[in-house]
């Protein structure tokens, strides 16, 4: 076990909010600040901007030089912080003193890092015992802080797994995401939820395992539909003995761990034995199970002998962007693939980006035995050692040159090339649409971030507002926000008041977090789903907050809510319509419809949550466990309310004092 790293902070008053991993590059031309608007800049503006940039650069160098005085010549991780305390860059070093000193030598730094130094006002340093520990800590901080000058893997989704539980006498097969805390065997990762669902369906047919929850299982008195369609053996009502069911579980576990041939041979032998006894119905059951297993194997597009537990990672670069494809192989089967487009400086090469990707990718994911890569990684030996430490077993990073494994790399490269070509085509089309949108709405520049707002409720109940974000790369789903309407003065059915509350909360928080509006989270255009009333409400909110310069518009549905006859409202101008077949109109409709979908989804989720609330939630001192115990005992909240004191005391986990509290709550009048 490694000791906790020693933490050293140059300026403890300034913290960071973001982070990511990066590589140093070859140095080019010296730093010269650019004016904010080159088309309108005067010589005096240029001179002032250059002077301000040089002052910032000198201050940054001074901050770093002061930090260097306190550094040791050992391994560790350093963070550059800007004046808001955000992490600009996270790096690791074998020798902290030597590495950080390099940032004071401006002539040797690339322009990107010179800009970073000019923004630096403080540094944080964590000393570690080994370089491996520094690499692992760096990856963790990068994922946590997402610094703008690092290579960033924007990966906010966990992979789905198949879980075969061990915490119940009758094991369950189910899909699982998140922390693997429940007792059982986890098989995966799978590239998508669809792949998991298809595999579980086939496994149910092959092994007749239950997928119902423990609560549903305990409440069954007769077989459910899954038994009728031959996807469960109905252990809940003893249609199969406990020993026979556990034998099915053993077969499923053997199949998922790669011993599929053994399982198929057993089933084939059982089918022949049943046929020999003239038990054709039993033989047909075994035949269907064998077909289900064959169906799973037929959907494993690529299966290479000798690749048992490995990830295949390939990177392709084009047009200043890099696509990285990851294929997952477990137990000799292909569990699918996923494409990633890490954010990085265009001067970085494939090797640097791929190295940063691998380090960040496995920071929160299990590491396979082997990682096959398309390019040699920077610091490959160190990365291998770090992943071995994390996995607590030997891990190999290989770059196949020939043979079957090279074919896997070639296939992954082909997929990366195709995915990047599609993305570049979509990005180009999206950029043209954004340019036309800016022209149509009278914006000074092409919008890089558009925020679209909509509300949803049913006759004022469970009102929600939704915000979706779009930009040059399409919808930015990790920036979506939902707003539960909670101001008592806002009437749920008043769309104007709801819009006012949503916009007020959104931009009050934005001003609090970034009062100087220098971050990337400020919109270039606010687009409201609605007409002149919604627009006026939005204009009032922005004016009250001192944000009257933000561009805002509203899009109203046409007469009879006809798509294609939308009317667009912009402050200070007559409303207008676009031609029915105009691609820009389709684009605006897509923005509006996404906001509508998200707002409705938020409302439905809130409504479903409200339905789950019961009268038991109003009883003081009744938490989730006691509530569950009462519902399992009595079957419904109404039965709890009618229960006598002695009945309540008979419930497991309910003491006499709690029983009295529940009884008194429901019998206040008496």
Indicate whether 303 pLDDT > 90: no
Q: Give mean pLDDT, residues 219-240.
A: 89
For residue 527, what is the domain's CATH number? Answer: 3.30.420.340
Question: Are 602 and 628 contained in the same domain?
Answer: no
Of 354, 348, 15, nearest to 153 by C-alpha is: 354
Q: What is the mean pLDDT of the chain?
A: 82
Residue where a domain terminates, one of 403, 421, 439: 421
**How many CB atoms lie under 10 A from the CB of residue 549?**
7
Give the pLDDT confidence score for residue 38 in this predicted structure.
Answer: 40
Q: Are residues 406 and 458 in the same domain?
A: no
**7 has a pLDDT exceeding 50:** no
Report which of residues 470 and 515 the model is more confident about. 470
- Residue 271 and residue 336 in one domain: no
* Same domain (yes/no): 286, 315: no
pLDDT band at 296 (very low <50, low <70, confident <90, very high): low
Q: Report the percentage of the chain scoring pLDDT > 90.
A: 31
441 domain residue, yes or no: no
- Is pLDDT of 567 > 80? yes
* Selected residue with higher pLDDT from 499 and 45: 499
In this prediction, residue 16 carries a pLDDT of 37
pLDDT tens-digit series, residues 408-450: 999 999 999 998 988 887 777 888 899 999 988 988 889 999 9
One domain for residues 415 and 479: no
* Assigned domain for 155 exists: no
> For residue 385, with 0-12 CB atoms within 10 Å meaning exposed, 13-18 middle and 19 or more buried, which class applies?
middle
| Shared-domain flag, residues 462 and 602 | yes
pLDDT at 507 (0 to 100): 94
Query: What pLDDT does 492 receive?
Result: 62
pLDDT at 528 over 90: yes
3-state secondary structure at position 529: strand
**Do 210 and 135 belong together in one domain?**
no
Distance (Å, rounded) from C-alpha 220 to C-alpha 299?
A: 34
**Predicted local distance difference test score (pLDDT) of residue 478:** 86
d(CA 477, CA 558): 28
Specify whether 141 is located in the same domain as 168: no
Q: Which residue has the higher pLDDT, 282 or 229?
A: 229
Per-residue pLDDT at 33 exceeds 50: no
Which of 566, 594, 610 is the endpoint of a domain?
610
Same domain, 167 and 285: yes
Residue 74: CATH number of its domain: 3.40.1440.10
Structural domain contains residue 151? no
Two tokens, residue 575: 């409303």
What mean pLDDT is predicted for residues 138-148? Answer: 88
- Among 207-211, 339-343, 524-528, 651-655, the minimum mean pLDDT is found in 651-655
Q: Is the pLDDT of residue 403 over 60?
A: yes
Residue 54's pLDDT is 64
In this prediction, residue 383 carries a pLDDT of: 92
Location of structure tokens 């269907």? 288
| Window from 78-92, 223-237, 295-309 with minimum mean pLDDT | 295-309
The rounded percent of the chain whose pLDDT value lies above 70 is 85
| Within-domain flag for 42 | yes
Average of pLDDT values for 296-317? 71
User: What integer is the mean pLDDT of 304-309?
Assistant: 68
- For strands 450-458 and 525-529, give the pairing: parallel
Q: What is the mean pLDDT of residues 226-239?
A: 89
Q: Pick from 594, 610, 626: which residue ends a domain?
A: 610
Q: Is the pLDDT of residue 10 over 50?
A: no
Q: How many domains does the chain have?
A: 5
Quick one: which of 82, 68, 61, 77 has its CA closest to 18? 82
415 and 489 fall within a common domain: no
Domain, as residue range, for 188: 161-298
Flag whether 409 is in a domain.
Answer: yes
pLDDT number for residue 204: 87
Residues 509 and 631 in one domain: no
* Residue 462 pLDDT exceeds 80: no
Residue 97 above 70 pLDDT?
Answer: yes
CATH number at residue 621: 1.10.150.20
429 falls within a domain: no
Residue 437 counted as domain residue? no
The three-class DSSP label of residue 372 is strand
Under the banding of pLDDT at 50, 70 and 90, the label for residue 189 is confident
Average pLDDT for 86-92: 92
pLDDT band at 622 (very low <50, low <70, confident <90, very high): confident
Does residue 9 surpass a pLDDT of 50?
no
Residue 155 pLDDT greater than 70, yes or no: no
Mean pLDDT along residues 223-228: 88
The size of the chain, in residues, is 670
Same domain (yes/no): 246, 174 = yes
Q: Say yes or no to pLDDT of 124 above 50.
A: yes
Give the pLDDT confidence score for residue 316 in this predicted structure: 94
Q: Quick check: is 434 in a domain?
A: no
Contacts within 8 Å (CB) and 24+ apart, 348-351: 348/22, 348/23, 348/25, 348/151, 349/317, 350/315, 350/317, 350/322, 350/375, 351/375, 351/376, 351/377, 351/378
């Amino acid at each position: 076990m490694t000791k906790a790293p020693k933490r050293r902070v140059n300026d403890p008053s300034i913290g960071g909010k973001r982070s990511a991993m990066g590589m140093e590059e070859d140095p080019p031309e010296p730093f010269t600040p650019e004016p904010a608007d080159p088309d309108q800049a005067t010589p005096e503006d240029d001179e002032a901007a250059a002077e301000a940039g040089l002052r910032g650069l000198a201050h940054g160098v001074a901050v770093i030089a002061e930090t260097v005085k306190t550094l040791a010549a050992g391994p560790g991780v350093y963070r550059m912080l800007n004046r808001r305390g955000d992490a600009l860059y996270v790096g690791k070093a074998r020798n902290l003193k030597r590495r950080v000193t390099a940032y004071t030598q401006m002539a040797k730094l690339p322009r990107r890092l010179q800009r970073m130094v000019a923004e630096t006002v403080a540094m944080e340093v964590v000393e570690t015992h080994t370089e491996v520990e520094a690499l692992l800590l760096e990856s963790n901080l990068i994922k946590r802080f997402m610094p703008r000058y690092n290579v960033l893997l924007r990966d906010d989704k966990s992979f789905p797994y198949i879980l075969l539980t061990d915490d119940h006498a009758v094991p369950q097969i189910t899909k699982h995401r998140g922390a693997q805390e429940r007792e059982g065997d986890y098989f995966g990762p799978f590239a998508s939820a669809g792949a998991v669902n298809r595999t579980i369906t086939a496994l149910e047919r092959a092994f007749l395992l239950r997928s119902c929850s423990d609560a549903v299982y305990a409440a069954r008195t007769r077989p459910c539909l899954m038994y009728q369609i031959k996807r469960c053996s109905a252990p809940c009502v003893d249609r199969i003995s406990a020993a026979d069911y556990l034998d099915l579980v053993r077969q499923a576990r053997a199949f998922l761990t790669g011993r599929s041939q053994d399982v198929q041979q057993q089933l084939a032998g059982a089918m022949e034995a049943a046929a020999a006894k003239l038990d054709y119905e039993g033989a047909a059951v075994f035949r269907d199970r064998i077909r289900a297993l064959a169906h799973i194997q037929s959907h494993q597009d690529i299966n290479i002998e000798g690749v048992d537990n490995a990830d295949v990672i390939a990177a392709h670069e084009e047009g200043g962007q890099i696509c990285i494809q990851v294929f997952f192989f477990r137990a000799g089967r292909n569990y699918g693939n996923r494409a990633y487009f890490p954010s990085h400086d265009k001067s970085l090469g494939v090797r640097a980006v791929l190295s940063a990707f691998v380090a960040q990718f496995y920071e929160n994911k299990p590491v396979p035995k082997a990682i096959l890569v398309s390019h040699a990684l920077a610091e490959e030996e160190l990365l291998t050692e770090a992943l071995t430490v994390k996995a607590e077993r030997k891990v190999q990073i290989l770059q196949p040159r020939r043979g079957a494994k090279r074919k896997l790399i070639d296939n992954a490269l082909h997929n990366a090339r195709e995915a990047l070509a599609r993305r570049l085509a979509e990005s180009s089309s999206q950029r043209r649409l954004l340019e036309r949108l800016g022209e149509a709405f009278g914006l000074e520049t092409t919008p890089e971030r558009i925020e679209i707002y909509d509300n949803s409720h049913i006759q004022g109940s469970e009102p929600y507002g939704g915000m979706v974000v779009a930009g040059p790369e399409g919808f930015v789903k990790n920036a979506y926000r939902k707003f539960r309407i909670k101001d008592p003065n806002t009437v749920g059915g008043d769309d104007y008041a709801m819009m006012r509350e949503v916009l007020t909360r959104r931009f009050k928080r934005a001003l609090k977090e970034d009062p100087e509006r220098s971050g990337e989270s400020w919109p270039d255009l606010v687009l409201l789903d609605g007409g002149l009333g919604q627009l006026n409400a939005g204009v009032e909110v922005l004016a009250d907050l001192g944000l009257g310069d933000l561009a805002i518009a509203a899009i109203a549905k046409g007469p009879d809510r006809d798509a294609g006859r939308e009317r667009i409202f912009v402050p200070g101008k007559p409303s207008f319509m676009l031609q029915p077949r105009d691609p820009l109109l389709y684009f605006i409709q897509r923005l509006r419809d996404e906001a509508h979908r998200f707002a409705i989804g938020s409302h439905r989720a809130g409504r479903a949550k409200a339905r789950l609330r019961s009268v038991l939630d109003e009883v003081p001192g009744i938490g989730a466990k006691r509530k569950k115990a009462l519902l399992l005992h009595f079957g419904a909240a109404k039965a709890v309310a009618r229960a006598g004191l002695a009945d309540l005391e008979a419930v497991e986990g309910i003491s006499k004092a709690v029983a009295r509290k529940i009884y008194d709550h429901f019998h206040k009048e008496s």
